[in-house]
Amino acid sequence: MASSALNKRKGAKPQKASPKKKQKKESFTDRNPKKPKNVQLLDHSDEEEIEEHEEEFDGVMEGSGSDSDTDSYGGDDPLPGSDDSLHGSDDDDDEEEDEEKGSSDSDSDADIEKKSKSIDKENERMRREAAEDVEVNINQESNEFRLPTKQELEEEAHQPPDLSHLQRRIQEIVRVLSNFKKLRQREGASRKDYVEQLKRDLSSYYGYNDFLIGALVEMFKVAELLELIEAFEKPRPICLRTNTLKTRRRDLADVLINRGVNLDPLSKWSKVGLVVYESQVPIGATPEYMAGYYMLQSASSFLPVMALAPQEKERVVDMAAAPGGKTTYIAALMKNSGIIFANEMKEPRLKSLTANLHRMGVTNTVVCNYDGKELPKVLGSNAVDRVLLDAPCSGTGVISKDESVKTSKSSDEIQKCAHLQKQLILAAIDMVDANSKSGGYIVYSTCSLMVAENEAVVDYALRKRNVKLVPCGLDFGRPGFIRYREQRFHPSVAKTRRFYPHVHNMDGFFVAKLKKESNLKPTTAESRLSETLEAETVDIDISMTEDDSEKNARVDDQQHLTDEDTKSEKNVSEDGKLELPGTVKKRKEKKLPSFFSHLKGQFPGDQKVEKKVKLPSGQKKEKKVKLKFPPREEIAKAREEKRRALRKSKAKNNNIGPGEQ
């Protein structure tokens, strides 16, 4: 019994799982930990297979155990070669298990790979469809953009403004107008309709009144106009001007950097300017500012003084000096030599002017309080070397500083400013001595973009005084307008310079430099002659022949005269003295230009001339009858017909349709 119990115990030992099987179970369960769901399924199937193998293996082990016990008779050693056979059977079982596990792993990996590929394909398809939908929507919106109807505009007027919708419509209109021939609405909307809608949208979105936005639309292309208006919404950089009477720019920059000011030199065109990006201290209250080492001044205010280029020991006038930024710059360039007359008409502004002069250490300046139009009577005519006229203006170039300009300006106010500016520029010219050895220059500047305040004023001065335009000495800036709508200016007006915030990153500004050629004031006839020369150049530019332009010169004399000039015109002799009406010299008889031949004989003057021609040859002519010119309407109509004919002929020569001009 004891031996049989012992044999049973010995035969029961192999029923325990071998350590190899445990290790294989653990290693199998640890495989692919990132995919728990699949692993659980695999573990469940593998456990069933392992249990089946264990049962088979236990049966085999029981048979082998009984055989060994009966053959050995009390010996603990198994039969020779039994271990090898056991190990061999284990290896076979392990190989079968590994094959089954490998097949199941490969199947599961293949399934996962297929699923991942299908998911990737689906995502890619959805992404592609979404991109196509977006492109289709964009193309539909862009290609099929149409102007809103009156009913839609009325509905928008009764609702709060949708800024995002307005901005998108502005961009679409700008895009269409930039390539109007291809992108225009097929229903027949004209360019004028698009421009009018653009004006309304810009006024609503940016807050401009109708006059100002209309003037800007007429002055700039639509794409550039949008850039300009966007630039007006951003502040300009803070700039400093080093006072060279007390310090150098490098030393000032070092001191301010130590105080926590982040700055750089302004640009290559200025040797004294600094631009401030960031400051840890109030830039207008530092000890250096109080000591007069620098002046807070916009970059555009440097330009008129640089164009004036004052020399040492000269007599210079600043006609509108407050608050003193330009005056102190002139004094620094003159090194406190010579004399500066700093005039300011508004008495309250004299305090800031005198304070800045004292702070900056200026000692060669006389402050006066006169109306600029009366300065020639106070200082004397032909008495100074240079004059700076930074004229009072509408301020349409500094909207970023004063947003009230958007809604406060009107056509009447622009005309009032232009009238005052014309009076001031004539007074400035009268003060300058044309015979000055080093001077004889006038610089006219404004912070306005309006043509009526800039080119028109300079053109007026060219006609009324013996002056000419000279280069400003500035290497950048856009040339002034020679043509603006129906207006035509002297070709030399291109020497003036315009500065824009969206191009030069400074306030909108205009600078013109004039050189006085003679101290004599031109008579009315001479001023008309200057207008005639301008008209000739304009006619040549529009492809008129030289002979026709010379014949049109006398006609343009009458055309350029304004109604005010004709009412206030007086009889003046060549010496500049007033003469009685009876003593006025008779002018030579004028002939009509060739292109007025179809009007011959329709005016009283023509009939008188014909009567005089019929007089006998022996009889002397007692009086010369003045030829009366046709009305201005007839003149303008005839000139327009001539221009149209020239344009058509030019278009035919260039094989271009007249509608594309």
DSSP annotation string for 83-125: HHHHHHHHHHHHHHHHHHHHHHHHHHHHHHHHHHHHHHHHHHH
Q: What are phi and psi of 241, to 5 degrees?
A: -115, 120
Residue 159 to residues 38, 92, 201, Cα–Cα distance (Å): 60, 86, 15
Give CA separation, 136 vs 131, 139, 141, in Å: 9, 5, 8
β-sheet with 294-296: strand ranges across: 261-265, 273-279, 238-242, 294-296
Q: Which of 393, 417, 447, 472 is catalytic?
A: 447
Tell me the CA distances in angstroms from 632 to 336, 481, 567, 596, 616, one per residue in order: 55, 26, 16, 12, 35
Phi, psi of 160 (to 5 degrees): -60, 145
CA distances to 319, 358, 368, 393 from 351, rounded to whole Å, are: 16, 11, 12, 22
371 is in an annotated binding site: yes
* 8 Å CB contact between 300 and 476: no
Contact 479, 506 (CB under 8 A): no
Q: What's phi and psi for 73, nearest 5 deg? A: 55, 70
Residues in a beta bridge with 340? 316, 365
List Cβ neighbours of 520 (8 Å cut-off, separation of 6 or more). 466, 576
**521 secondary structure, DSSP code:** P
Asked if residue 344 belongs to a known ligand binding site, the reply is: yes
Give the chain's radius of gyration (CA, Å): 47
- Is 102 labelled a binding residue? no
Q: Which of 417, 482, 428, 478 is nearest to 450 (CA)?
A: 417
Which run of H or E residues covers position 271? none
Of 649, 155, 622, 210, give the one whose Cα is nearest residue 409: 210
**Tokens read off for 80:** 């020779």
In sequence order, what are the beta bridge partners of 316?
340, 386
User: 107 labelled as ligand-binding?
Assistant: no
With beta carbons less than 8 A apart as the criterion, state whether 249 and 262 touch: no
Does the annotation flag 120 for ligand binding? no
Between CA 484 and CA 445 the distance in angstroms is 19
Q: Is residue 322 part of an annotated ligand binding site? A: yes
What is the distance of C-alpha 412 from the center of its chain? 28
Residue 306 half-sphere exposure, CB side, CA atoms within 13 Å?
Answer: 19
CA distance linking residue 305 with residue 312, whole number of Å: 14
Is 630 labelled a binding residue?
Answer: no
Judge whether 5 is annotated as a binding position.
no
Q: Active-site residue 447, yes or no?
A: yes
Q: Which residues pair with 405 in a beta bridge?
A: none
The Cα–Cα gap between 43 and 357 comes to 94
As to burial, measured by CB atoms within 10 angstroms (0-12 exposed, 13-18 middle, 19+ buried), residue 83 is: exposed
Close Cβ partners of 616 (under 8 Å, ≥ 6 residues apart): none
| 321 assigned to a ligand binding site | yes
* Catalytic positions, written as ranges: 447
- Specify binding-site residues for S-adenosyl-L-methionine: 320-326, 344, 371, 390
- Specify binding-site residues: 320-326, 344, 371, 390
